[in-house]
Amino acid sequence: MLWSLLKIVLFVAAVAALTLGAGYVMESQGGIQITVGGMEFTLGPLQSVIALIVLVLVLWLVFKLVALLIALLKFINGDDTALSRYFDRNRERKGYEALSQGMLALASGEGKLAMAKAQKAERYLHKPEVTALLTAQAAEMSGDTRKAEEVYKMLITREDTRFVGIRGMMKQKLAKGDTDTALKLAERAFALKPKHEEVQDTLLRLQAQKHDWQGARRTLNAKLKHGALPRDVYKRRDAVLALSEAKDIISDDKPIEAREAAIAASKGSPDLIPAASMAARSYVAQGKPKLAVRVLKKAWSVEPHPDLAAAFAEIEPDETPAERMKRFRLLTTSRPEHRETRLLKAELALAAEDFPEARRALGDLITTEPDVRVLTIMAAIERGEGANEAVVRGWLAKALTAPRGPQWVCDNCNHIHSEWTPVCENCEAFDTLSWKRPPQSESGVVAGSEMLPLIVGALEDKVSEPPEEPVAEILTPEPPTAAGEAAAEATEVPDPSATDVEIEKAK
């Protein structure tokens, strides 16, 4: 409203100034005297002003006629578009002005204004390869997905805008959750522009979601070929894809191919823990335990992990606890100060009923990293050393509310996974899982798959029923994960609670 009032005031002031100027001119004396061919013309003040205005208009008209004459001469000399350019020059100026205004409106978040300016620019320019894209983006900003889809379909029909149309449609389908159509569009866009990084990443992610591991590896090779991926990252992700392919092959009852794929994945990326575990089990199935030990030692030296210890235990499932402690020195001598190494040594000592050694192995983890696993081991140590029930219950009470410790966490969305997967279950990002503590640890729950079933072998004394004591009930863990079940089956431990009975007997 203030701006409207200001414009009215300015208009009135301009009219007043012109009226005042005209009054001065009419009242003034003198004028202009013009002599042409012996004839003399005398113009008064008002006539002089009018003559000046007429002269300006005549000069403008002369310049226009000269420009038209030049365009006509160019047309006669063979320039077929000279005349059309002359007449379209003003139209193009208006069109590009509307286009620039539309782009500014789009950048400002004014979708409807941007659509209006795009339509105006199209009327003047007749260049859909420019104005249609602005219209589609403005329609998306305004929430008019139907209009945006129509524009993208129109762009697909043109050779010079096909990639832009396919890419826009791909994003539309992804937003709607239609991943099947989005995958086909991503493949077409990749065929048109294989160097486009966004299309490469989208295609790789969709192929991984659909378990098209061979297609994903081809896309990954293209990223490496076109310089969109460092070689070390390529090796890691190629190993992830090879491992994922191996897991699918195992589910299809093709063990030979799975073994080869798992071994290749382990060689490609030694720090990929699931690949090392699967490769080791493949070597064990082939009767090559030394190669399995070599793979697990290399992976343990890079990143100690409970799954590696479980696979190492499966190499000799029937050994005694003392023999197991001796054999596991191949792992525990590497990275001896690492948290996982110390926990492994404590669990091995518990299995051998060497409780003082188990306490020494834990060291200061009770105060520096008191998670569920550490506190549960400490409760078992106290029971094995003959502590009273109050002490054992105290450690178990702490374990019930302690953090879970390291888990498979997505680096992109911090979603926690029970086991490793190539694609995040929450945000569907590819190769983003890391073994680490969650940013916000959950309340601890005793996890049996993280305890002794991973490392103890076949025990001589089998207890059919656990004692009906409160401590035994608290020590009874959750159902093991898939990895824990496989390790427990390989080591022939009937139930995790049997370990508590063994400790009770030692007491």
Which pLDDT tens digit goes with each residue over 20-47?
776 766 666 666 667 766 677 676 666 7
Neighbouring residues of 67: CB distance < 8 A, sequence distance ≥ 6: 86
Phi and psi based region of residue 227 (left: phi greater than 0; alpha: psi -120 to 50; beta: remaining): left
Looking only at Cα atoms, what is the longest distance across the chain?
A: 139
Q: How far apart are CA 379 and CA 382, in angstroms?
A: 5
pLDDT at 177 over 60: yes
* Whole-angstrom distance, CA of residue 368 vs CA of residue 435: 19
Distance CA 456, CA 494 (A): 11
Residue 61, Cβ density class (10 Å: 0-12 exposed, 13-18 middle, ≥19 buried): exposed
Beta bridge partners of 436: 407
Residue-level pLDDT at 167? 92
What's the CA gap between 199 and 205, in Å, rounded?
Answer: 10
- As a whole number of angstroms, the distance between CA 473 and CA 477 comes to 9
Structure tokens at 232: 């070390």
Virtual torsion, Cα 22, 26, 30, 32, nearest 10 deg: 60
> Of 472, 476, 456, which is closest to residue 504 (Cα–Cα)?
472
Q: What is the pLDDT of residue 29?
A: 65
What are the tens digits of pLDDT across the range 101-151? 888 988 888 888 888 888 888 888 777 777 888 888 888 888 888 888 888
> What tokens were used for 59?
């000069």
**pTM higher than the cut 0.75:** no
Gap between the Cα atoms of 174 and 191, Å rounded: 19
φ, ψ for residue 196, nearest 5 deg: -75, 115
Beta bridge pairs of residue 416 = 409
* pLDDT at residue 30 in the model: 62
What's residue 17's pLDDT?
81
Closest among 271, 267, 220, 270 to 241, alpha carbons compared = 220
Q: Look at residues 425, 428, 431 and name the one whose alpha carbon lies nearest to residue 223.
A: 431
Residue bearing the bigger pLDDT, 91 or 238: 238
Measured in whole angstroms, the distance separating CA 103 from the mean position of its chain's CA atoms is 29
Give pLDDT, residue 341: 93
What is the spatial distance between Cα 384 and Cα 379, in angstroms, rounded to a whole number? 9
Which residues 6+ apart lie within 8 Å of 202 measured at CB? 170, 174, 182, 186
CB 404, CB 415: distance < 8 Å: no
Question: Among candidates 120, 168, 161, which has minimal Cα distance to 141?
Answer: 168
Q: What pLDDT score does 63 carry?
A: 82
Check whether 277 has a pLDDT greater than 60. yes
- pLDDT digit string (tens) for 478-488? 333 333 333 33
pLDDT confidence of residue 25: 63
Element (H, E) at 21: helix 2-27
pLDDT at 352 over 60: yes
- Which pLDDT does position 123 carry in this prediction? 81
Q: What is the pLDDT of residues 457-494, one digit of tens each?
A: 333 333 334 443 433 333 333 333 333 333 333 333 33
- Region of poorest pLDDT, from 81-85, 96-100, 159-163, 413-417: 81-85
